[in-house]
Chains A and B, each alone.
Chain A
């Protein structure tokens, strides 16, 4: 009896120790490639309030221990982050060595002002880190005229969220094409019961990014050969389709909706389908926020006449301040934060990254619900690398190309609105940059 007890005790001790050892090895794997040649440096980082930030904060102590670099992190909401960065970078002070930013919103502005370091030389330094592993579409988001202005950390794609319970009741499959999408929206739309076929953003500027996949799937594009592409028949068709869909089968007040409003309607169980970025999945399956948490299905963005061309973008990247005195140390950090083991770890904590190898591995998908992971994996391998016009003054451009969306939803003269936007956009492109 006593012997058994001792045996069990020893066994327990060994397993605990072994477990701890394995754990330690795992942790070491995260910082295996980190060099300590910059020990003693202090790096200042500015991050956004974002799940990626929350997740990596927990790994930072390991990097600090391995590299000897001290990290000082500040976090802001995205609009404030943008303002702070712009003032800091304009005034030429080195308040931040590296920072999170939105390549599609600020990248071209930062790059053309010389505020961010061109990283194209840095990414070639370490073959093991493997720049080629980053997905093509996401790499194209952060490159402009051979100027590489950031390393992708978070990616997103447009996807379809649907009410699996209601689809099952009606014997429906999620729509594979835009035609089917409209038909299903019509079938399930029931305004008398305050239940709507589909909800998507309709407010002028915020709607632009979600409209983009419709535009590409009809075969249109924002800019063609440096000129506005809005006058193409495909673009007109896309605007018309989007407007009709939301006017006929969407909730009232769609033209005032950005993602918080559209998300809330879907979370409250008032819509059969919601189309938006795939980053929101955590919000719809969280039962403290969503009354439909248990009955959400995920599907790829429906195919249009020109194919399945949903956007697949780098929504956030890490950039380096061109005026930083600690560029090499900053690169050491960026390289670590975007290395395959760290990206895998972060992806397991629910932040979709940009590395193909992580998407290809089963561990890379383990942090997501299985049906969701399947869709994201499919969509991350294809798609268009931008979800808005790639220009310097993005805000202004979004207002111009977003105007016909509102007209279309309100049932106005889409053709005239598109023609007007086309001219305004051409005039804009002449002065932009």
Chain B
């Protein structure tokens, strides 16, 4: 009897201990989860704060921007956006940026995709390295020769000068993202296409390209953003009516005054299209970025 009671007590104690550890575990998990969310919040705050500040400031006048009162205490104004689109010719600059980014990305794809495929399939690694040197050499090195060449060709200030120069960034990038992508595609698919009578090009166009779409989208988005944000090449090679947004934003700075509100509104205008675009194709970017990594 006594034994039974003892056993009973023992098991009860055990059970109690078990529930205790279980609840301990639960609290620990809750604490960990809370910490995790806290960490996420901190990171998000740090990342988002400048954007929030930019957005808020774009609706403020100069006095409210430079004051050290409460960040949220101001009378909103649309004057800055009015300046961006009416006083400054931002629609033109938006168009320029779109045109140059789109054209340089498309041309980079046209040249870069076959190149990447060729390098991947025929193991022409040295060619890949040659492409990479274009990225390793600092961009500014190219500027003076380009300036002279484009000047002689009469292309200075034209869209072509911008598109071609932006391809220097886009083309190697696209090729380098796509090389591992093509390498990871199974050989057999193209081989069977070849057996069925397709040429090398046919196999590339009909089999490899469709399979590589996620990678292509990632690479294109990145190339587009590089071009969209490019400052140095556009500064030197653009003309007055072909200048792109990152150059045009400096119109709000002048010798003895800085129009902070206009600057912020212009920054919003520059950021928004890319932000929206990136949100839409985000899942491709993630898929594309990891695709090369998992090849075995």
Contact = CB atoms under 8 A, between A and B. Distances in A.
Contacts of A92: 148
A78 B256 CA distance: 10
A211 B231 CA distance: 33
A278 to B, nearest CB: 10
A77 B253 contact: yes
B255 interface: yes
B122 to A, nearest CB: 39
A277 B255 CA distance: 11
Contacts, number: 79
A260 B258 contact: yes
A291 B144 CA distance: 47
Given A83-B236, A87-B143, A90-B144, A51 B67 contact: no
Contact of A268 (B67, B151, B255): B67
Given A49-B255, A73-B240, A77-B251, A91 B147 contact: yes
A188 B205 CA distance: 78
Contacts of A283: 256-257
Interface residues of A, number: 37
Interface in B217-251: 235-236, 239-240, 247, 250-251
Nearest to B143: A87
A179 interface: no
A80 interface: yes
Given A91-B148, A264-B66, A268-B66, A49 B253 contact: yes
Given A48-B255, A50-B255, A283-B256, A87 B247 contact: no
B61 interface: yes
B62 interface: yes
Interface string A67-103: 0000011111110100110011011110100000000
B250 A93 contact: no
Contacts of B151: 91, 93, 95
B254 A49 contact: yes
Interface residues on chain B, size class: 20 to 34
A88 B144 CA distance: 8
B253 A93 contact: no
A127 B270 CA distance: 51
B156 interface: yes
Contacts of A80: 235, 247, 250
A50 B254 contact: yes
Contacts of A429: none
Nearest to B156: A95
B66 A51 contact: no
Nearest to A90: B144
Contacts of B250: 49, 76-77, 80
Given A49-B250, A280-B256, A84 B62 contact: no
B147 A77 contact: no
A206 to B, nearest CB: 13
A78 B67 CA distance: 26
Contacts of B256: 50-51, 259, 277, 279-280, 282-283
B137 interface: no
B279 interface: no
Interface in A272-325: 277, 279-280, 282-283, 288-291, 315-316
A83 B238 CA distance: 13
A138 interface: no
Most buried by A among B61, B66, B253: B66
Contacts of B247: 80
Contacts of B67: 268
A288 B254 contact: no
Interface in B55-86: 61-63, 66-68
A246 to B, nearest CB: 19
Contacts of B68: 268
Nearest to A279: B256
Given A51-B256, A267-B66, A83 B235 contact: yes
A50 B61 CA distance: 21
A176 B292 CA distance: 72
Contacts of A74: 239-240
Contact of B62 (A73, A77, A93, A288): A288
B61 A87 contact: no
A259 B63 CA distance: 16
Contact of B63 (A84, A90, A291): A291
Contacts of A291: 63
A78 B255 contact: yes
Given A264-B66, A288-B62, 13 more contacts: A49-B250, A49-B253, A49-B254, A51-B255, A75-B240, A76-B250, A77-B253, A83-B236, A87-B143, A268-B68, A280-B257, A288-B61, A290-B63
Q: What are the nearest 3 A-B pairs in CB distance?
A: A49-B254, A93-B151, A77-B250
Interface of B: 61-63, 66-68, 143-144, 147-148, 151, 156, 235-236, 239-240, 247, 250-251, 253-258
21 contacts: A49-B251, A50-B254, A51-B254, A51-B255, A77-B253, A77-B254, A80-B235, A84-B235, A87-B143, A91-B144, A91-B151, A93-B147, A93-B148, A95-B156, A267-B66, A279-B256, A280-B257, A282-B256, A282-B257, A289-B257, A316-B255
